[in-house]
Amino acid sequence: MDEPSASEIKQLAWRMKDEAVTRRNTRGGRSAAEHLVGAVRCIYSHAESDGLIDEVKNPARRVAKPRRLPSTRRALPASRIAELNKVASCTGNDPDLDALLLRLHMETACRRGGALAVRPRDLDVDQCLVLLREKRETVRWQPVSPTLMRALREHAQARGDDDRDGQLLRYVDGAPISRRRYDHLWHRLGRHLPWVAAQQITTHWLRHTTLTWVERHFGYAVAREFAGHAVGSGDGGATATYVRADLGEVAAALAALTGEPHPLAGGERTRR
């Protein structure tokens, strides 16, 4: 454990950067180098905790992660969202599934992992809520429109196998979808819409779009709760602890976004 030097770890990180697989959204392998440094730090952190190495002899502590570049993602205008929905619902081998995916992500601003983890038992039909389980083991009830809730129920009834703990989103033959469905979806959208391929649009752009709209119309606290961000993370500072939005405010934002009333939304809310 104490044989590698800090410079050797740094050299390995840059080697990973140079040898990273080139994908359509590549950024020069910086993420590969960052992950390598993070993995080495994790290993040495456990070694410290187990008393296998002293803190002063930990070479990983002296290796800085590559600076993360600003994200190129941004909110998409309504006209572009309409184009995505139109192509998704009119092309491909399962347009109903793809249209449902886009609406689920637009309404909830969930990540891919959150959508794939939804089970039939995670639907609270009466209150139009979906239980989302996402990264860092976060769990939250997210409001959805009555239209989306009805579509999710019909999808589960038509394609499910009566296993309420199984995956909700499935193909026509009942097989659960995976992340590969998203890859195929955006590849197809890119073929029909050149701007999708040129700007490397992905599902996460929908999250940016929804949260930007919510922040502009309902403020930072509601957008933070809508996103499911943990209190204390990010640059919100201590103030974020005291200005948390409640579920009713998130539901009110969703009702304004979709144009449909929500059972948990309160009265008319003054926009900022």
Residue-wise pLDDT for 136-171, tens only, equals: 788 999 999 999 999 999 999 999 888 899 999 999
- pTM: predicted TM-score of the whole model, two decimal places: 0.81
| Packed helices 179-192 and 78-90: angle between N→C axes, nearest 10 degrees | 110
User: For residue 93, what are the contacts with CB-CB under 8 A and spacing of at least 6?
Assistant: none
Please name the residue that has the structure tokens 């050299």.
11
Angle at 137 between CA 115 and CA 97, to 5 degrees: 5
Cα(214)–Cα(239) distance, rounded to whole angstroms? 19
pLDDT of residue 271: 41
Of 147, 173, 149, the closest CA to residue 159 belongs to 173
pLDDT greater than 70 at residue 35: yes
CA dihedral 250, 252, 256, 258 (to 10 degrees): 70
Please give the structure tokens belonging to residue 1: 């454990």
Question: Which amino acid makes up residue 225?
Answer: E
Dihedral sign from CA coordinates of 129, 134, 140, 143: negative
CA 23 to chain centre: 19
pLDDT greater than 90 at residue 127: yes
Band of pLDDT at residue 237, cut at 50, 70 and 90: low
| Residues 26, 14 contacting (CB under 8 angstroms) | no
Dihedral sign from CA coordinates of 196, 200, 206, 208: negative
Residues of the chain with pLDDT > 70, as a percent, come to 90
